[in-house]
Structure 1
Amino acid sequence: MALSPLRPTDDEARALAHELLRAARYASLATLTEAGHPMQSRIAFGLDGAGQPISLVSTLAAHTQALRTRPQISLLVGEPGDKGDPLTHPRLTLNGRGEILPNTGERHAEMAAHYLRSHPKAKLYIGFGDFHFLRFHITDGFLNGGFGKAFQMTQADLFQVE
């Protein structure tokens, strides 16, 4: 019987996952093309006022168009540091689905104000008609906290479930 590389998820792993989520300004987004092939894109990443992951995307982008027919997503957050082997730095994979939100109304205005605090350069295009917020509904994740520190993460581990 092979040994599992996964450690039991503990408060230290949860704290590291939360820190990676709070610190992330960019992520790698994987979607599925119409032909079923995985496609990755680098996107801006943030948390909304309730601490849930979001991005601001153009409906003209290939990844946004792919989400219209196949909403399954996978995100990777966590950047390598300036020193050392990039594979020893922590990173977090998130799995779930994406939801394109309307770009009008009070809810959009509140999200925009919150988002611009962490992504001020988005002010240049946040009002364009083809830009919408994308909400990520995360079901689970995988934390690689560095060499020998792998954890399966539940939705409850990653986000405060109310």
Structure 2
Amino acid sequence: MSEKKDVIQQTTEEARVLAVQLISNATYGSLAVLDPATGRPSVTRVAITTDTDNTPLLLASGLATHTPALDANPVCSLLLGEPADKGDPLVHPRITLACSAEKFMRGQEGYQRLRDLFLEKRPKVKLYIDLGDFVIFRLNVESAGLNGGFGKAFHLKTEDIVLPQ
């Protein structure tokens, strides 16, 4: 039997730069949570922006199924990166972030700064950010898997992605 080849490459500066760009340029992503009602994974598309250190921020309604899921279990994953209009979608860069969600509610310390940042970066959320059931989740990155395109796979650590303050 032949030995299985490790396809994960040594993390490079190029991989770090690509990861930071994929996160900072994203306006939406696919959020995976564990549904407390069924115990099964659930995935949804969410609008995001980033905090000043490049940590993803998620604006969520209490009506969305992922909000009670994150309340019950803050462990989640966020997939970012979109394919170009043409070509095989699997050759385009993407990153999966393993995160722990931290909830910020209106009146809580830190909420106003995150709200203002969200509005600054994504002005269209003004339509609903102040509705009573909306909260902000900071998706604290614990690790990541970067697929930089065909044959370019990397495991990344928090310090590879989150920018020093």
TM class, shorter-chain normalised? over 0.9
8 Å contact 2:146–2:153 — kept in the other structure? yes
Q: 1:72 aligns with which of 63, 70, 75?
A: 75
- Deviation sequence 1:104-154 (CA, Å, 0-9, x none): 256322222211122111000111110010111111000000000000011
Quote the residue 1:13 is aligned against.
15
Distance of 1:5 and 1:157 partners within structure 2: 19
Q: How many residues align?
A: 162
User: Which has the larger displacement, 138-147 or 115-124?
Assistant: 115-124
Q: Which runs of 5+ in 1 are unaligned?
A: none
Equivalent pairs: percent with the same residue?
A: 42
Quote the residue 1:114 is aligned against.
117
Quote the residue 1:54 is aligned against.
57
Q: 1:87 aligns with which of 59, 73, 90?
A: 90
Would you say 1:96 and 2:99 are equivalent positions? yes
Amino acid aligned to 2:24: R
User: Which has the larger displacement, 76-85 or 152-161?
Assistant: 152-161
8 Å contact 1:49–1:111 — kept in the other structure? no
Quote the residue 2:136 is aligned against.
133
Q: Which runs of 5+ in 2 are unaligned?
A: none
TM-score by length of 2: 0.93
User: Which has the larger displacement, 10-19 or 51-60?
Assistant: 51-60
User: Which has the larger displacement, 132-141 or 107-116?
Assistant: 107-116
RMSD: 1.4
Deviation at 1:160, TM superposition (A): 2.8
Amino acid aligned to 1:59: G
Quote the residue 1:27 is aligned against.
29
8 Å contact 2:29–2:46 — kept in the other structure? yes
Structure 1 runs of 4+ aligned residues shifted over 3 Å read none
Quote the residue 2:127 is aligned against.
124
8 Å contact 2:81–2:95 — kept in the other structure? yes
Q: 2:157 aligns with which of 147, 154, 158?
A: 154
TM-score by length of 1: 0.94
